[in-house]
Amino acid sequence: MQQADRIKNLPPYLFAEIDKMINKAKQEGVDVISFGVGDPDQPTPEHIVESMIEAVRDPSTHSYPSYEGLLSYREAVADWYQKRFGVELDPEDEVVSLIGSKEGIAHFPFCYINPGDLALIPDPGYPVYKTAVLLAGGEVEMLPLKKENNYLVELDEISPANLKRAKLLYLNYPNNPTAALATREFFQRVVALAKEYDFIVAHDSAYSEVYLEEEKPLSFLEIAGAREVGIEFGSLSKSFNMTGWRCGWAVGNENLIESLGRIKTNIDSGIFEAVQKAGITALTSEKTAAEEMRQLYRQRRDRLVAGLQDLGWKVPPNQASFYIWAEVPPACENGEEFSRKVFQETGVFFTPGIGYGQQGDKFVRLALTVSQERTEEALERLSNSSIFN
């Protein structure tokens, strides 16, 4: 059977390939310590789990859910936005539920990208942005995120021709993989450009609550005029240790929300209502669990960064997300070579930055999802390896 061209041209998903490689090594007896895929190692808070159990026992949740999501869930999202960001949202027209933010991010280009249309994609960036545009038949222009510009898109470097062609710009702050934060001034410039050239801004805000210093990440929708041009994707996955629950949302311009909702009604049947009720509990309960999570990541970051710097590796601490974006030591040609050498010699895995785009070629990403005990073991193995001696 002949595959469709869209599948032939689709690269293997980075994290699925990483899982295969790590699982193969484990089967061969390797004691793997992986700083790879960003999946929190801590359990979902108990009060959220109990809420889910209660909801599962309620027969009213056993039917098909509503396509756009329970109004009570969308109201909880809107209330949370008002308290967290000071952003007022209409839960009926400006909020739609998602089966995790990834599916909304992936479906959104099908709403606005026609074959040959151009989308602007950050490099490095979450691979789904580019993949989704290509699946929709669009073309991409990769926008380099550079260390010297604090990994913000260099808006002045985008050619006028590409700005005129662009239908969509993806942004992601706090950023995966670089951990960068956006400034208010940067978002204001984005809004001005989007209005001038009439393109949509799709902001991925999955890590908004994973901040490790006093500065809280902004919502794109806090910026005056952002709602006229933008949609923002959010998730309970990283903020509440709920990656497996698949519960998220999109908020923003009501026309963009309606379009995404229309795509979804033709593709999926919504989120299991028991999961939505657990999501309501997560969004409306006290924030102590989120602060405990941030404190844990701070401790892990401080120990890991200090330990790697003691080995002579110049690793910068991340301010937000639970990722460290580190340039490989000068002796290594690129992140892929460095990651392979480290893994083969020590069983410690770092994600090669090339998986996020060409600009990540000389970087690796480390996720702070490894326990303190295993982090110490990893540092010990690295210190005894030939790589740092």
Mind giving me the DSSP string for 247-284? -EEEEE-HHHHHHHHHHHHTT-----HHHHHHHHHHHH
Angle subtended at Cα 367 by Cα 364 and Cα 369, rounded to the nearest 5 degrees: 160
Residues 34 and 59 in one domain: no
Answer yes or no: is 361 within a domain: yes
Q: How far apart are CA 279 and CA 282, in angstroms?
A: 5
Residue 65 has pLDDT above 80, yes or no: yes
What phi and psi, each to the nearest 5 degrees, are found at residue 179? 70, 10
Residues 68 and 32 in one domain: no
Choose one of 284, 307, 334: the last residue of a domain: 284
Nearest residue to 236 (alpha-carbon basis) of 51, 89, 375: 51
Q: What is the mean pLDDT of the chain?
A: 94
Which of the two residues, 253 and 67, has the higher pLDDT score?
253
Answer yes or no: is 388 within a domain: no
Residues 264 and 159 in one domain: yes
3-class state of residue 227 by DSSP: helix
Is the CB of residue 364 less than 8 Å from the CB of residue 338? Answer: yes
| Domain span at 325 | 5-43+288-383
Domain count within the chain: 2
Residues 217 and 340 in one domain: no
Residues 94 and 214 in one domain: yes
Residues 307 and 328 in one domain: yes
Nearest residue to 381 (alpha-carbon basis) of 351, 341, 354, 352: 341
Kindly tell me the sign of the dihedral angle through the C-alpha atoms of 224, 228, 230, 236. Answer: positive
Residue 15 has pLDDT above 90, yes or no: no
Angle subtended at Cα 126 by Cα 112 and Cα 364, rounded to the nearest 5 degrees: 160
Residues 359 and 255 in one domain: no
Mean pLDDT of 333-353: 93
DSSP code of 140? Answer: E
Q: What percent of the chain has pLDDT over 90?
A: 85
Q: How far apart are CA 301 and CA 187, in angstroms?
A: 28
Residues 248 and 336 in one domain: no
* Entry pTM: 0.95
Choose one of 284, 301, 316: the last residue of a domain: 284
Residues 231 and 369 in one domain: no
Residues 334 and 364 in one domain: yes
Choose one of 284, 306, 325: the last residue of a domain: 284
Assign residue 57 the CATH number of its domain.
Answer: 3.40.640.10
DSSP code of 92? Answer: T
Tell me the per-residue pLDDT of 226-271, one tens digit each, with 9 for 90 and over: 999 999 999 999 989 999 999 999 999 999 999 999 999 999 989 9
Assign residue 323 the CATH number of its domain.
Answer: 3.90.1150.10
Pair of tokens at residue 199:
């393109």
Residue 132 has pLDDT above 70, yes or no: yes
Mean pLDDT of 303-320: 96
Residues 279 and 327 in one domain: no
Which of the two residues, 10 and 114, has the higher pLDDT score?
114
Answer yes or no: is 389 within a domain: no
Residues 14 and 68 in one domain: no
Helix (H) or strand (E) holding 325: strand 323-327
Q: What is the pLDDT of residue 287?
A: 65
